[in-house]
Structure 1
Protein backbone atom coordinates (compact mmCIF):
# COMPACT_ATOMS: atom_id res chain seq x y z
CA UNK A 1 0.00 0.00 0.00
CA UNK A 2 2.02 2.99 -1.26
CA UNK A 3 1.13 6.64 -0.90
CA UNK A 4 1.69 9.02 -3.81
CA UNK A 5 2.71 12.29 -2.14
CA UNK A 6 2.32 14.21 -5.42
CA UNK A 7 -1.30 13.23 -6.03
CA UNK A 8 -4.16 13.08 -3.57
CA UNK A 9 -6.92 10.83 -4.96
CA UNK A 10 -9.23 11.50 -2.00
CA UNK A 11 -9.53 15.25 -2.44
CA UNK A 12 -9.19 15.25 -6.23
CA UNK A 13 -12.13 12.81 -6.40
CA UNK A 14 -14.24 15.29 -4.43
CA UNK A 15 -14.50 13.41 -1.13
CA UNK A 16 -15.06 15.53 1.96
CA UNK A 17 -13.96 12.92 4.49
CA UNK A 18 -11.96 9.72 4.90
CA UNK A 19 -12.92 7.16 7.55
CA UNK A 20 -11.17 4.15 9.08
CA UNK A 21 -12.39 1.41 11.37
CA UNK A 22 -10.65 -0.83 13.85
CA UNK A 23 -10.76 -4.61 13.61
CA UNK A 24 -7.90 -6.36 15.31
CA UNK A 25 -8.42 -9.91 14.00
CA UNK A 26 -10.75 -12.19 12.08
CA UNK A 27 -11.42 -15.46 13.88
CA UNK A 28 -11.89 -18.42 11.55
CA UNK A 29 -14.66 -19.72 13.84
CA UNK A 30 -15.91 -16.59 15.57
CA UNK A 31 -17.96 -16.61 18.76
CA UNK A 32 -20.34 -14.16 17.05
CA UNK A 33 -20.55 -14.19 13.25
CA UNK A 34 -20.05 -11.02 11.24
CA UNK A 35 -23.69 -11.23 10.19
CA UNK A 36 -26.34 -13.89 10.72
CA UNK A 37 -26.57 -16.64 9.72
CA UNK A 38 -22.82 -17.21 9.99
CA UNK A 39 -21.81 -14.88 7.16
CA UNK A 40 -18.00 -14.55 7.03
CA UNK A 41 -16.23 -11.19 6.95
CA UNK A 42 -16.13 -9.84 3.40
CA UNK A 43 -12.66 -10.33 1.94
CA UNK A 44 -12.36 -6.60 1.24
CA UNK A 45 -13.02 -5.86 4.92
CA UNK A 46 -10.17 -8.08 6.04
CA UNK A 47 -7.53 -5.78 4.59
CA UNK A 48 -7.75 -2.93 7.05
CA UNK A 49 -4.56 -1.46 8.42
CA UNK A 50 -4.13 0.32 11.73
CA UNK A 51 -6.67 3.15 11.82
CA UNK A 52 -4.45 5.81 13.31
CA UNK A 53 -1.50 4.99 11.05
CA UNK A 54 -3.75 5.36 8.00
CA UNK A 55 -5.14 8.67 9.25
CA UNK A 56 -1.63 9.95 9.95
CA UNK A 57 -0.59 9.16 6.38
CA UNK A 58 -3.76 10.79 5.06
CA UNK A 59 -3.13 13.89 7.18
CA UNK A 60 0.22 14.35 5.47
CA UNK A 61 -1.09 14.07 1.90
CA UNK A 62 -4.42 15.91 2.22
CA UNK A 63 -5.33 19.47 3.05
CA UNK A 64 -9.08 19.67 3.49
CA UNK A 65 -10.82 16.31 4.02
CA UNK A 66 -12.04 15.44 7.50
CA UNK A 67 -10.24 12.38 8.93
CA UNK A 68 -12.36 10.10 11.07
CA UNK A 69 -12.31 6.91 13.06
CA UNK A 70 -15.46 4.89 12.68
CA UNK A 71 -14.79 3.36 15.11
CA UNK A 72 -11.94 2.86 17.58
CA UNK A 73 -12.77 0.22 20.18
CA UNK A 74 -12.13 1.73 23.61
CA UNK A 75 -11.57 -1.59 25.40
CA UNK A 76 -8.61 -2.43 23.15
CA UNK A 77 -6.55 0.51 24.42
CA UNK A 78 -5.40 2.15 27.59
CA UNK A 79 -7.29 5.46 27.41
CA UNK A 80 -4.35 7.85 27.25
CA UNK A 81 -2.80 6.14 24.19
CA UNK A 82 -5.60 6.91 21.69
CA UNK A 83 -6.08 10.35 23.29
CA UNK A 84 -2.46 11.23 22.55
CA UNK A 85 -2.49 9.62 19.09
CA UNK A 86 -5.72 11.35 18.04
CA UNK A 87 -4.45 14.72 19.32
CA UNK A 88 -1.21 14.19 17.40
CA UNK A 89 -3.01 13.42 14.13
CA UNK A 90 -5.30 16.39 14.76
CA UNK A 91 -2.24 18.64 15.12
CA UNK A 92 -0.63 17.21 11.96
CA UNK A 93 -3.87 17.69 9.99
CA UNK A 94 -4.58 21.18 11.25
CA UNK A 95 -7.70 20.20 13.21
CA UNK A 96 -9.44 17.82 10.80
CA UNK A 97 -9.84 14.73 13.02
CA UNK A 98 -13.24 13.33 14.03
CA UNK A 99 -12.80 10.76 16.80
CA UNK A 100 -15.40 7.99 16.85
CA UNK A 101 -15.20 5.59 19.79
CA UNK A 102 -17.28 2.54 20.55
CA UNK A 103 -17.60 -0.49 22.78
CA UNK A 104 -16.90 -3.18 20.20
CA UNK A 105 -18.94 -6.34 19.77
CA UNK A 106 -16.57 -9.19 18.94
CA UNK A 107 -15.82 -11.49 21.86
CA UNK A 108 -12.84 -12.84 19.90
CA UNK A 109 -11.29 -9.38 19.57
CA UNK A 110 -11.99 -8.44 23.19
CA UNK A 111 -10.45 -11.69 24.45
CA UNK A 112 -7.31 -11.05 22.38
CA UNK A 113 -6.64 -7.93 24.45
CA UNK A 114 -7.58 -9.36 27.84
CA UNK A 115 -10.99 -7.71 27.95
CA UNK A 116 -14.50 -9.08 28.31
CA UNK A 117 -17.87 -8.03 26.92
CA UNK A 118 -18.83 -7.04 30.48
CA UNK A 119 -15.92 -4.51 30.60
CA UNK A 120 -16.58 -2.71 27.36
CA UNK A 121 -19.17 -0.12 28.45
CA UNK A 122 -17.17 0.83 31.53
CA UNK A 123 -13.98 1.10 29.45
CA UNK A 124 -15.71 3.35 26.89
CA UNK A 125 -16.98 5.65 29.65
CA UNK A 126 -13.54 5.79 31.23
CA UNK A 127 -11.86 6.48 27.87
CA UNK A 128 -14.19 9.38 27.12
CA UNK A 129 -13.58 10.80 30.62
CA UNK A 130 -9.81 10.54 30.07
CA UNK A 131 -10.14 12.30 26.69
CA UNK A 132 -12.02 15.16 28.38
CA UNK A 133 -9.34 15.44 31.05
CA UNK A 134 -6.19 15.22 28.93
CA UNK A 135 -7.56 17.36 26.09
CA UNK A 136 -8.43 20.07 28.60
CA UNK A 137 -6.05 22.47 30.30
CA UNK A 138 -2.91 21.32 32.05
CA UNK A 139 -2.14 20.33 34.70
CA UNK A 140 -4.32 17.23 34.44
CA UNK A 141 -5.66 15.62 37.60
CA UNK A 142 -7.70 12.49 37.02
CA UNK A 143 -8.42 9.23 38.82
CA UNK A 144 -10.22 6.10 37.69
CA UNK A 145 -9.67 2.40 38.45
CA UNK A 146 -7.05 2.10 35.67
CA UNK A 147 -5.79 5.64 35.08
CA UNK A 148 -4.18 8.17 37.42
CA UNK A 149 -2.86 11.62 36.51
CA UNK A 150 -1.57 13.79 39.34
CA UNK A 151 -0.76 17.35 38.33
CA UNK A 152 0.61 16.35 34.90
CA UNK A 153 1.02 18.05 31.55
CA UNK A 154 -0.36 15.82 28.79
CA UNK A 155 0.57 16.97 25.29
CA UNK A 156 -0.21 17.50 22.52
CA UNK A 157 -3.72 18.85 22.74
CA UNK A 158 -6.03 18.60 19.72
CA UNK A 159 -5.78 21.54 17.32
CA UNK A 160 -9.51 22.04 17.24
Structure 2
Protein backbone atom coordinates (compact mmCIF):
# COMPACT_ATOMS: atom_id res chain seq x y z
CA UNK A 1 0.00 0.00 0.00
CA UNK A 2 2.71 2.52 0.97
CA UNK A 3 5.71 2.22 -1.22
CA UNK A 4 8.78 4.46 -1.16
CA UNK A 5 7.44 6.87 -3.79
CA UNK A 6 4.17 7.46 -1.86
CA UNK A 7 6.05 8.20 1.36
CA UNK A 8 8.37 10.56 -0.53
CA UNK A 9 5.39 12.41 -2.05
CA UNK A 10 3.72 12.81 1.36
CA UNK A 11 6.96 14.08 2.92
CA UNK A 12 7.49 16.48 0.00
CA UNK A 13 3.92 17.77 0.32
CA UNK A 14 4.39 18.45 4.04
CA UNK A 15 7.69 20.25 3.40
CA UNK A 16 6.07 22.30 0.64
CA UNK A 17 3.16 23.29 2.91
CA UNK A 18 5.60 24.29 5.65
CA UNK A 19 7.52 26.40 3.15
CA UNK A 20 4.32 28.17 2.04
CA UNK A 21 3.38 28.92 5.67
CA UNK A 22 6.87 30.25 6.47
CA UNK A 23 6.87 32.48 3.39
CA UNK A 24 3.40 33.73 4.33
CA UNK A 25 4.61 34.59 7.83
CA UNK A 26 7.64 36.37 6.38
CA UNK A 27 5.43 38.42 4.04
CA UNK A 28 3.01 39.30 6.88
CA UNK A 29 5.91 40.43 9.09
CA UNK A 30 7.25 42.62 6.30
CA UNK A 31 3.84 44.26 5.85
CA UNK A 32 3.06 44.67 9.57
CA UNK A 33 6.48 45.72 10.85
CA UNK A 34 7.62 47.55 7.74
CA UNK A 35 10.70 45.43 7.21
CA UNK A 36 14.21 45.93 8.44
CA UNK A 37 16.05 43.75 10.88
CA UNK A 38 17.43 45.16 14.09
CA UNK A 39 14.86 47.95 14.25
CA UNK A 40 12.61 48.13 17.24
CA UNK A 41 9.01 47.77 16.07
CA UNK A 42 6.01 48.75 18.18
CA UNK A 43 2.82 46.76 17.85
CA UNK A 44 0.14 49.37 17.47
CA UNK A 45 -1.49 51.83 15.18
CA UNK A 46 -1.19 55.61 15.04
CA UNK A 47 -4.48 57.49 15.06
CA UNK A 48 -4.22 60.34 12.58
CA UNK A 49 -5.85 63.63 13.52
CA UNK A 50 -5.86 67.18 12.28
CA UNK A 51 -2.84 68.63 14.01
CA UNK A 52 -3.26 72.15 12.65
CA UNK A 53 -0.74 74.14 10.70
CA UNK A 54 1.77 74.89 13.46
CA UNK A 55 3.81 71.75 12.78
CA UNK A 56 3.39 70.41 16.32
CA UNK A 57 5.90 72.73 17.94
CA UNK A 58 5.17 75.27 20.64
CA UNK A 59 7.18 78.45 20.52
CA UNK A 60 9.42 79.09 23.50
CA UNK A 61 8.15 82.65 23.93
CA UNK A 62 4.47 81.61 24.12
CA UNK A 63 2.34 81.75 27.25
CA UNK A 64 2.78 79.09 29.91
CA UNK A 65 0.26 76.30 30.29
CA UNK A 66 -0.96 77.72 33.60
CA UNK A 67 -1.81 81.05 31.93
CA UNK A 68 -3.67 79.37 29.08
CA UNK A 69 -5.45 76.93 31.43
CA UNK A 70 -6.69 79.80 33.61
CA UNK A 71 -8.67 81.15 30.63
CA UNK A 72 -9.61 77.79 29.07
CA UNK A 73 -13.08 77.26 27.59
CA UNK A 74 -14.75 73.94 28.44
CA UNK A 75 -17.19 74.38 25.52
CA UNK A 76 -14.33 74.52 23.04
CA UNK A 77 -12.74 71.61 24.87
CA UNK A 78 -15.84 69.50 24.30
CA UNK A 79 -15.47 70.06 20.55
CA UNK A 80 -11.76 69.16 20.67
CA UNK A 81 -12.68 66.07 22.72
CA UNK A 82 -14.38 64.68 19.59
CA UNK A 83 -10.88 63.54 18.53
CA UNK A 84 -10.70 61.47 21.73
CA UNK A 85 -14.15 59.86 21.42
CA UNK A 86 -12.83 57.14 19.12
CA UNK A 87 -11.18 55.48 22.12
CA UNK A 88 -12.53 57.15 25.30
CA UNK A 89 -15.94 57.64 26.91
CA UNK A 90 -16.99 60.07 29.62
CA UNK A 91 -19.90 58.01 30.94
CA UNK A 92 -17.94 55.64 33.17
CA UNK A 93 -17.56 52.85 30.60
CA UNK A 94 -14.29 51.76 29.04
CA UNK A 95 -13.76 51.21 25.31
CA UNK A 96 -10.36 50.93 23.63
CA UNK A 97 -9.08 53.33 26.29
CA UNK A 98 -10.22 53.91 29.88
CA UNK A 99 -13.10 56.26 30.65
CA UNK A 100 -12.08 59.87 31.27
CA UNK A 101 -14.83 61.23 33.50
CA UNK A 102 -13.18 62.38 36.71
CA UNK A 103 -9.68 62.02 35.26
CA UNK A 104 -8.42 65.40 36.50
CA UNK A 105 -6.98 64.75 39.97
CA UNK A 106 -7.34 60.96 39.67
CA UNK A 107 -4.32 58.70 40.25
CA UNK A 108 -2.83 57.37 37.00
CA UNK A 109 -3.63 53.78 35.98
CA UNK A 110 -6.51 53.64 38.46
CA UNK A 111 -9.55 52.58 36.41
CA UNK A 112 -10.64 49.17 37.66
CA UNK A 113 -10.67 46.46 35.02
CA UNK A 114 -8.57 48.31 32.44
CA UNK A 115 -5.24 46.70 31.48
CA UNK A 116 -2.70 49.53 31.50
CA UNK A 117 0.79 49.26 30.02
CA UNK A 118 2.47 50.52 33.22
CA UNK A 119 4.36 53.26 31.37
CA UNK A 120 2.36 56.08 32.99
CA UNK A 121 3.19 55.03 36.54
CA UNK A 122 6.86 55.64 35.77
CA UNK A 123 6.36 59.35 34.96
CA UNK A 124 3.39 60.56 37.05
CA UNK A 125 1.34 59.71 40.12
CA UNK A 126 -1.74 61.89 39.63
CA UNK A 127 -3.43 63.35 36.56
CA UNK A 128 -2.83 67.00 37.33
CA UNK A 129 -3.67 69.50 34.56
CA UNK A 130 0.08 69.87 33.89
CA UNK A 131 0.61 66.10 33.62
CA UNK A 132 -2.41 65.80 31.33
CA UNK A 133 -1.08 68.60 29.14
CA UNK A 134 2.32 66.93 28.81
CA UNK A 135 0.72 63.60 28.01
CA UNK A 136 -1.77 65.04 25.50
CA UNK A 137 0.96 67.00 23.72
CA UNK A 138 2.94 63.86 22.89
CA UNK A 139 1.76 60.64 24.59
CA UNK A 140 4.66 58.48 23.40
CA UNK A 141 7.21 61.16 24.35
CA UNK A 142 5.70 61.75 27.81
CA UNK A 143 5.32 58.07 28.70
CA UNK A 144 7.42 55.84 26.41
CA UNK A 145 5.74 52.45 26.05
CA UNK A 146 2.20 53.74 26.55
CA UNK A 147 -0.60 51.89 24.79
CA UNK A 148 -2.10 55.18 23.56
CA UNK A 149 -1.34 55.54 19.86
CA UNK A 150 -2.68 59.08 19.53
CA UNK A 151 -0.42 61.61 17.79
CA UNK A 152 -1.17 64.30 20.36
CA UNK A 153 -2.63 67.81 20.50
CA UNK A 154 0.05 70.26 19.45
CA UNK A 155 -1.83 73.47 20.30
CA UNK A 156 -1.58 74.48 23.95
CA UNK A 157 -5.05 76.06 23.75
CA UNK A 158 -6.60 72.78 22.58
CA UNK A 159 -4.96 70.89 25.44
CA UNK A 160 -6.07 73.46 28.02
CA UNK A 161 -9.64 73.47 26.67
CA UNK A 162 -9.89 69.66 26.69
CA UNK A 163 -8.55 69.49 30.24
CA UNK A 164 -11.02 72.20 31.32
CA UNK A 165 -13.82 70.16 29.73
CA UNK A 166 -12.71 66.97 31.49
CA UNK A 167 -12.40 68.87 34.78
CA UNK A 168 -15.95 70.21 34.34
CA UNK A 169 -17.27 66.65 34.19
CA UNK A 170 -16.10 65.93 37.74
CA UNK A 171 -16.02 62.37 39.00
- Judge same fold: TM > 0.5, yes or no: no
* Structure with greater strand share of residues: 1
TM-score by length of 2: 0.23
Bigger relative CO (Cα 8 Å, ≥ 6 apart) = 2
* Structure with greater helix share of residues: 2
TM-score by length of 1: 0.24
